């Protein structure tokens, strides 16, 4: 039998998930947010709601134009087209 060592220990798995979540939050909360086209892959409804809430209410923008595509695995691809 051949066994392969998994380089991710049980303690590192939550840290990697936390780093991924932090990257998403940094993108959503970035004060120097460019209104160019950005895409969030493998998102969910909660992230969509947060994106709209942060951009319209906390950042005091008046308009956000987004495109949402449902993927086969029921995740969402959110494309930010414009923020004013």
pLDDT tens string 36-82: 458 888 888 988 998 899 888 888 889 989 999 998 998 889 888 88
Question: Which is nearest to 28 in space by CA: 74, 75, 62, 64?
Answer: 64
**Residues 6 or more apart from 7 whose CB is under 8 A from it?**
none
Span 5-30, average pLDDT: 71
For residues 71 and 77, the answer to whether their CB atoms sit within 8 Å is yes
Rg, the chain, Cα only: 17
Report the distance separating Cα 17 and Cα 9, nearest Å. 13
Question: What's residue 8's pLDDT?
Answer: 60
pTM above 0.75, yes or no: no
Question: What's residue 23's pLDDT?
Answer: 78
Backbone angles phi, psi at 32, to 5 degrees: -95, 35
């Amino acid at each position: 039998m051949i066994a392969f060592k998994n380089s991710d220990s049980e303690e590192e798995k939550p840290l990697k998930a936390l780093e991924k979540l932090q990257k998403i939050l940094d993108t959503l909360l970035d004060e120097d947010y460019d209104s160019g086209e950005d895409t969030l892959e493998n998102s969910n409804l909660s992230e969509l709601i947060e994106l709209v809430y942060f951009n319209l209410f906390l950042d005091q923008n008046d308009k956000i134009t987004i495109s949402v595509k449902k993927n086969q695995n029921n995740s969402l691809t959110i494309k930010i087209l414009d923020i004013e």
